[in-house]
Amino acid sequence: MRKHVLFAAILLAAFAIAVNAQQASGLYNPSIDMDGFLKVSQDAAKHRSTRRLTEEQFIAASKEPGAVILDARSSEKFDELHIAGAINLSFPDITVESLAKDLPDKATKILIYCNNNFENEPSAFPTKVAPASLNLSTYISLYTYGYRNVYELGPLLNAKTTRLKLISSKDEAKRVGVR
């Protein structure tokens, strides 16, 4: 028991020294936590491993009552082409406030996709390097905010032949009579 208390005291002292060193250097910022990000990323990766869907599974899940398709690409890319019925919350705009407004129930089934799910539409879906795929960042971010009912479109699909309905915001506006 005494060894455990001593070990905990040493860990706390080491943490305090590290924080004091960062504060002294002028680099300390309690609003940026790399160690926390790396830990939650590992936790999210384990969770994500059972949450990737085929095209058919994604289509079926999108038809479930209350399911939300979330597109975290820029509004410009979203407007150019997106999955019909998707909402757009650009990744940089994912915040405590925007999530509370757009996805207030953390139990909501959220379906995500990104640029790297579609090929043959490079303007609307420009390819990112695999480790920078927006699906990864979006999944980790939603997980960090406490959303656990998140599912990701897995495969790379041809935008010209996918069974998912891709639509531009202009076409969608015309369809619902908005000008």
- Domain definitions of the chain by residue range: 1-32, 33-175
Over residues 35-93, the pLDDT tens digits come to 999 999 999 999 999 999 999 999 999 999 999 999 999 999 999 999 999 999 999 99
Assess if CATH 3.40.250.10 describes domain 33-175.
Answer: yes
Neighbours of 75 (CB within 10 A): 13
Please tell me the distance from the alpha carbon of residue 89 to that of residue 141, in angstroms, as a whole number. 12
Q: What is the pTM for the complete model shown?
A: 0.83
In this prediction, residue 179 carries a pLDDT of 47
Over residues 7-19, the pLDDT tens digits come to 445 645 555 555 5
Nearest to 134 by CA among 148, 146, 118: 118
Q: Are 147 and 44 in contact (CB under 8 A)?
A: no
**What tokens does 50 get?**
């059972």
